[in-house]
Amino acid sequence: MSEIKIEDLSKQIKGALILDKVSITLTSGKIYGLRGKNGSGKTMLMRAMAGLLIPDAGSVIINGKTLHKDISFPESIGILIENPSFLPQYTGFKNLKLLAGLTGGISDEEIRTALDRVGLDPEDKRTYRKYSLGMKQKLGIANAIMGEPDIIILDEPINALDEESVKKIKKVLLEIRDKDKLIIIACHDREELEYLSDIIYEIKDGSIVDRKEITNDNA
């Protein structure tokens, strides 16, 4: 059971207010959607939850531990923020293996499973630099879901993916959610976001302006 509690979170970058007193609580077993225009603050809110952004005011509390006070980063998290970036000279498997080595507790088998689930061949000998845009995106998702961490944050996960791959990713995300994991997604595609999400937050000018519960038959 994971919980992210955000209390009055504010952040300014170069004089511009990008997050303005955001307060939300997210719990596991659900997929949360973040919707808003470009520059509304979706990605920054995700970065703040991942421990990448240092708040000016307010706090992000993960399972009772305050980020940047009790912990530097969430203890079990997988993220894909904007364009994925990996070492170009290595294969997808090798890239994930290096990162799994840092995280600890993720076996080769789990890496292969993650790659397979997103539609990448774990035995593919091509290096990352030879990957297509869609393959790079899939590798980013595989990195976020490998080992099935308690919290998964995905910023525009279906960008550059074909229809079949989108279906596959949606299925994977719903499976992971049903294992009582907390998933947060930002997506421009309104239809896809509503299909995947249980709750959608609308963000405008760095503030949460709306919360909408979705009832659909994706379960």
Partner 1 sequence: MITLKLLKRDIKLGIVERLILYLVVLFTFFMVKDCSRAIADIQVRFSMQSSCTIMDYYVYCMSGMGFYQFDPTQGFLIPYLWFISQLGISYIIAYYAEKDFAENGVNVMVAGRNRSAWWFSKVIWCIMSVLIYFVATFIACSCFAMFYGAKPSLGVTDEFLKIVYGYNINYLPYKDLMLIVFVVPIAVTAGICLVQMLMSFIISPVTSFALTCAVYILSAYYTAWFLPGSYTMWVRSSYFDVRGLNPLSGLLIAAFMVIAVCFVGNSYFEKKDII
Interaction site with partner 1 (CB under 8 A): 13, 44, 47, 50-54, 68, 71-75, 77-79, 81, 85-87, 89, 98-104, 143
- As a whole number of angstroms, the longest Cα–Cα distance in the chain is 48
Range 104-108 contact pairs with CB under 8 angstroms and sequence separation of 24 or more: 105/147, 106/146, 106/147
Which is closer to partner 1, CB of 26 or CB of 48?
48
Q: Which stretches does DSSP call E strand in 14-80?
A: 16-27, 30-35, 57-62, 65-66, 77-80
**Neighbouring C-beta atoms of residue 37, cutoff 10 Å:** 12
Closest distance of CB 179 from partner 1, Å: 20
Residue 25: what are its φ and ψ, rounded to 5°? Answer: -125, 130
Minimum Å gap between C-beta 163 and partner 1 is 28
- Rounded to whole angstroms, the Cα distance separating 63 from 51 reads 14
Q: Which is nearer to partner 1, 54 or 209 (CB)?
A: 54
CB-wise, 71 or 214, nearer to partner 1? 71
**For residues 81 and 196, which CB has a smaller minimum distance to partner 1 in the complex?**
81
Least distance to partner 1, CB of residue 23, Å = 21
Minimal distance, residue 79 CB to partner 1, in Å: 6
Residue 26 tokens, joined:
């997210």
Nearer to partner 1, 21 or 94 (CB): 94
Q: How far is the CB of 14 from partner 1 (least distance, A)?
A: 11
